[in-house]
Amino acid sequence: MEAQFLIAGFGGQGVLLIGQLLAKAAMHEGMNVSWMPSYGPEMRGGEANCAVVISDEPIGSPLVTEIPFAVIMNKPSMIKFTPAMEKGGIMLYNSSLIDITPDRDDITAIPVDCNGIAEQLGNARTANMVMLGAILKKTGIVSIDAAMEALKVTFGPKKEHLLPINRQAMEAGANSVE
């Protein structure tokens, strides 16, 4: 089993965190993982993306060239990465910020109202966790519990109080793509 993801958006949207948590949760469950970030010089507002490869075999390359599973958080990323998608691939995209659909009929595109759901939960900053929940539901690659363990380690004791709202966001994201 091998799963390859490309996760892309603006810096500040938590794109790299989605990839990190996916990778850490998979490692926690005993899988081999690669996580390769790419971002512009700007911390916020610039383009950010990461490639995540999860496998039960050794990973030959961390590169994801033909994208089987894309997670797209903004319109420029959709425009940039849609042509690189593998035929039959799956794209989850943030329909809160993207007002177009992919211009390909050989991929499955699934809208996720990340920002809208996060705002309904009372914390707009959890939009990335809404998307992570949708990813977990659509792939079954790791559980929400494993992702929460990874988040707990990443946040540390100082941000532990944010764990419940982030779990709610993941669960809401999973429910949104059932």
Q: What is the pLDDT of residue 64?
A: 87
Secondary-structure class of domain 2-176 per CATH: alpha beta
Q: What is the pLDDT of residue 11?
A: 82
Question: Phi first, then psi: what are they for 109, rounded to 5°?
Answer: -110, 125
At how many degrees (to 10) do helices 144-155 and 127-139 cross?
140
Q: Which two tokens stand for residue 156?
A: 């540390």
pLDDT under 50: residue ranges of the chain: none
pLDDT digit string, tens, across residues 76-116: 999 999 999 999 999 999 999 999 999 999 999 999 999 99
- Could you tell me if 59 and 34 are in contact, meaning their C-beta atoms sit under 8 angstroms apart? yes
Percent of the chain with pLDDT over 90: 86
Domain ranges of the chain: 2-176
**104-129 burial: b if 16+ Cβ within 10 Å, else e:** eeebebebbbbbbbbeebeeeebbbb
